[in-house]
Structure 1
Amino acid sequence: MKGLDIFTSNLNAEDYNSLISSLPKQDSLETVLLSWGLKDLFEGSDEIKDLYAVKALANNYKWNVNVSQLLKQHKYQSLVITDADKNIIWVNDGFSKMTGYSKEFAINKTPRFLQGKATSERSRGRIRNKLLKGEPFKDIVINYRKDKTEYKCELRVFPLYNNKTTHYIALEKEVI
């Protein structure tokens, strides 16, 4: 599995799209995956689903960021992608597991809906200033789940860009 993952992550967008378009249609793809012994790996891996979803967005927006490397380097539970105005455009399944909010609820909102009375203005300001610098950063913020329970959330935020920053990706995990 690692070999296939490494192979596809090193393809440029044109070669990747060519490979995908040359694969058999959905029904026969399942047969191919079964014959390679890969079907269970693809179906059961949230990380693989995340990788392909984020790669598709990267290709669509032409980001000059190696998203494969980014996701492999950092442990996360939740992925959140926002546009440059901080509106959420995509979250992974881990987001719903961690927060209790559905993907549909989160889309087109800013991550501020996760904050509450214990979220300090100081940490909000710190994060705002780091975003303005346009550089990757790590911080911890107190967020709230849908059931109103609070949790400490470690954020690793990376700007996503082509000519300029167009989006941000936050790799999030709950910390004690």
Structure 2
Amino acid sequence: MKFPGARLLARVLLALVAVAAVIVTVVGCSSAKEDSKSGSAKVGDCIIKGASADAKTETADCSSDKAVYKIAQTSDKKVDCATDYTGYQANLADGGSAYLCLAPNFKQGSCYNETSSTAVKNVDCGSTEATFKVVKRIDGEADELLCGAEADSFRLISEAPKATFCLAKPKA
């Protein structure tokens, strides 16, 4: 038995569902664009950490020598980072701020300057600023026993993704 208007009701319902799907898609796309405009950094991004408290945090390609840190965790509230990570309050391009837990993104063969008052930065190995050189980088494992005799110290990242950085004094 067929009811008059049943097809019309089905078509109206189908049209309403289609319109709702279009609205959800448009709203979702515009909010994704807003997120990318804000300059907000995400877990897995690499950054160039601001040198001063008012400096803006910039993302960078992880293969870049300037990308000394990789974001391991983000939060809009201050959090305690794992022992292997560096805590950092980032000033974002949109004027907001985020709390980041940063893992080292040191490159094998590169030299760095690290002091207690400043962030780690990439420096020339012949520079007097160089405080350590990465002689070996091992991704996926956190084990200082993997470092050879050329290393005189190490830095382990025991959280995922695990890493071992075998370090030595730079030769001047």
Q: Which has the larger Rg?
A: 2
Greater relative contact order (Cα < 8 A, sep 6+): 1
* Bin for the TM-score computed over the shorter chain: under 0.3
- TM-score, with normalisation over the residues of structure 2? 0.26
Q: Report which of the two has the higher share of helix.
A: 1
